[in-house]
A and B are shown apart, each in its own frame.
Chain A
């Protein structure tokens, strides 16, 4: 048991426990806060995987923006049903069965591939992943087109969200 394995297992426990709370807890605002905990665990995993930029983006974008957006939406829509009564469908065991089946199938497939048992090679010396990522995102022979498409998508989503959510009667 090396240090990174212990960190990984602690993270995994944090992520899975928080995720279970997200889907089962009764109060929606608590579910949103548990989502923050799960997202934070994922950010730690990114740091363990040496994806430093993604770890920061996970905290800033997911926790700082998306989770806060969820909390605002919960506060804007809580009324009669929320926090009281059953939050899950009466036939909740069917999704649970489906989830367990998919999990069992995936684990079976993953463990059946001996190539997936490998450990990571050391990061090659002199490789600056942050610089590589920045270059890849704007270089024409790499990923500049997906990058621009993502920015157009974000602009469209911004305009669309403002238009849909503004309650102006026309």
Chain B
């Protein structure tokens, strides 16, 4: 374990930035969710790295990462269900065209 902690943190920061770029720049709602997944993974890398480097006996970091897994699974299931439902009614998955509640 000769890797410095900040290598992990910088990798996670880069992954988070890429995911943020994807969320903000994509038109397709599914692609936006893909970006959210990348950001959640960046957070998980940080959590597990901090667990290993700071306190590997207590399991707080890993438990938090597992909670993030569960939340990510729930978010993807509901998000994709919403997108499919919208697609069925409006025949589009482009986020700009889903503008019923926009004024």
| Residues of chain A whose beta carbon lies under 8 Å from any beta carbon of chain B | 2, 4-5, 8, 12, 15-16, 19-20, 22-23, 28, 31-32, 35, 38-39, 42, 45-46, 48-51, 53-54, 57-58, 61-62, 65-66, 69-70, 72-74, 76-77, 79, 81-82, 86-89, 92, 94-96, 98-100, 102-103, 106-107, 110-111, 113, 116-124, 127, 129, 132-133, 136-137, 142-143, 146-147, 150-151, 153-154, 156-158, 160-162, 164-165, 167
Partner of B91 from the list A79, A123, A164 (CB cut-off 8 Å) is: A79
Q: Mark B61-98, 1 if CB is under 8 A from A, else 0.
A: 01101110111111111101111110110011110000
Q: How many pairs, one residue from A and one from B, have CB atoms within 8 Å of each other in the complex? A: 260
Contact A73 B57 (CB under 8 A): no
Contact B57 A127 (CB under 8 A): yes
Contact A4 B1 (CB under 8 A): yes
Which residues of the other chain, A, contact B14 by a CB distance below 8 angstroms? Answer: 16, 103
Partner of A28 from the list B8, B30, B63 (CB cut-off 8 Å) is: B30
The 3 residue pairs across chains A and B that have the minimum distance between CB atoms: A23-B22, A157-B74, A95-B24
| Residues of chain B whose beta carbon lies under 8 Å from any beta carbon of chain A | 1-11, 13-28, 30-31, 33-35, 37-38, 41, 44-45, 48-49, 51-53, 56-60, 62-63, 65-67, 69-78, 80-85, 87-88, 91-94
